Amino acid sequence: MAGASLLTLIDDIATVLDDVAVMTKVAAKKTAGVLGDDLALNAQQVAGVHADRELPVVWAVAMGSLRNKLILVPAALLISLVAPWLITPLLMLGGAYLCFEGFEKLAHPLLHSAAEDEAHHQALTAALSDPATDMLAFERDKIKGAIRTDFILSAEIIAITLGTVAAAPFLSQLTVLSGIALIMTVGVYGLVAGIVKLDDGGLYLSGKDNTALQWLGALMLNAAPYLMKTLAIVGTAAMFMVGGGILSHGLSFLHHAIEQTTAIAGNLPLVGRTLALLTPTVLDALLGIVAGALVLLLVTAGQRGWRLVRG
């Protein structure tokens, strides 16, 4: 009997671990939409810091990110226990914010002139070139700003993950949320550290005597700015797809409309199978763009109204 009980316990543990692994995989897939933007944004946050201080700054932000998640994970679990009805509204809010942030990036050239961007760049360059600039204070401001940004992105990740495991037992929720929090923190800031040092690595290899290493170094130097741009583009597109997907699943009439459109597209000859795979993603992305535009209009109108009230 004891042996049978032990085997039953082992089987139960294995089942739980298998469920946790599956849910973690699903949650990681859903939160990947935030990852590209998170990478690009955090790498940009470190821009302007002296080369020998880039890794310490990334480490400080990573520790701040872990502290953020130590707040967010218990808060998410508390919501799941006390007010599970809040999960869907929070997911919808997170999805709307993703769409807003993505559309704000697209609308940036319309909302801000090239002269404004150039003036900001020149002001930053001048501050860094000025010997009187307190670099420690500059670093601290960079770190604080990056940690504040991380809190928003981490909240999105935790909210999306919580929606994935909402119906699971408490232990599974704790395991998946903690796992995603650690995976995303280590993954994001490990990659950020690699990205910000990519140009230094290229410069180092360019100074070697070996022709192949020099070629590789030049390739890394040339690739660094394009990598940042690619991450930003992929991250923005993913924000629309993930944010739109969250909104469509939260609004049943939209979810059913997308399902029906996908079924119709799937029945078309020759291209039906391909269209059936692409249609939900494309429609979610379009929904994300429309939602982002609407939220941006509301936010812009609210900001202007607030400025008028304040005089």
**Predicted confidence (pLDDT) per residue in 209-219, tens digit:** 888 778 888 88
60 or 46, higher pLDDT: 60
Higher pLDDT, 24 or 221: 221
Better-scored residue on pLDDT, 219 or 225: 219
Which residue has 């459109």 as its token pair?
A: 261
- Tokens encoding 118: 């150039």
Q: Would you state the structure tokens that stand for residue 24, as one six-digit string?
A: 């973690």
pLDDT at 289: 93
Q: Is 54 exposed, middle or buried (0-12, 13-18, 19+ CB in 10 A)?
A: buried
Got the DSSP string for 123-173? Answer: HHHHHHH-TTS-HHHHHHHHHHHHHHHHHHHHHHHHHHHHHHSTTS-HHHH
0.85 exceeded by pTM: no
Which of 15-19, 31-35, 145-149, 293-297 shows the lowest mean pLDDT across its residues?
A: 15-19
According to the per-residue pLDDT averaged within each range, which of 51-65, 86-100, 113-127, 278-292 is highest?
A: 278-292
In the predicted model, is pLDDT for residue 206 greater than 70?
A: yes
Max mean pLDDT among 62-66, 115-119, 132-136, 232-236 falls in 62-66
Mean pLDDT of the chain: 74
Q: Among 6-10, 28-32, 89-93, 133-137, whose mean pLDDT is lowest?
A: 6-10
Which segment of 26-30, 48-52, 73-77, 118-122 scores lowest on mean pLDDT? 26-30
For residue 123, the model assigns a pLDDT of: 59
Q: Could you give the percent of the chain with pLDDT greater than 90? A: 5
| Rounded-to-integer distance, Cα 78 and Cα 164, Å | 16
Exposure b/e, 29-51, CB count within 10 A at least 16 = b? ebbbbbbbbbbbbbbbbbebbee
User: Cβ atoms within 10 A of the Cβ of 156, count?
Assistant: 28
* C-alpha dihedral sign at 223, 57, 29, 16: positive
Confidence of residue 236 (pLDDT cuts 50, 70, 90): confident
Give the pLDDT confidence of 260-277 residue by residue, as tens digits. 998 888 888 878 888 888
Q: Residue 290: pLDDT above 90?
A: yes
16 confidence band (pLDDT: 50, 70, 90) = very low
Cα separation, 125 vs 119, in Å, equals 10
Do 277 and 270 contact (CB within 8 A), yes or no? no
- The rounded distance, in Å, linking the Cα atoms of 194 and 187 is 11
pLDDT digit string, tens, across residues 298-309: 988 888 888 888
Q: Which residues lie below 8 Å from residue 180, measured CB to CB, with a gap of 6+?
A: 24, 27, 28, 31, 157, 158, 161
- State the average pLDDT over residues 241-267: 86
The whole-number average pLDDT for the span 291-304 is: 89
What integer is the mean pLDDT of 49-64? 74
Q: What gap in Å lies between CA 120 and CA 183, rounded to an integer?
A: 34
pLDDT in tens, 74-121: 988 888 888 888 888 888 887 888 788 888 888 877 766 666 666 655
pLDDT band at 6 (very low <50, low <70, confident <90, very high): very low
pLDDT at 58 (0 to 100): 78
14 has a pLDDT exceeding 50: no
Instruction: Calculate the alpha carbon distances from 53 to 47, 58, 251 in Å.
Output: 11, 9, 47
pLDDT of residue 295: 92
pLDDT at position 53 is: 66
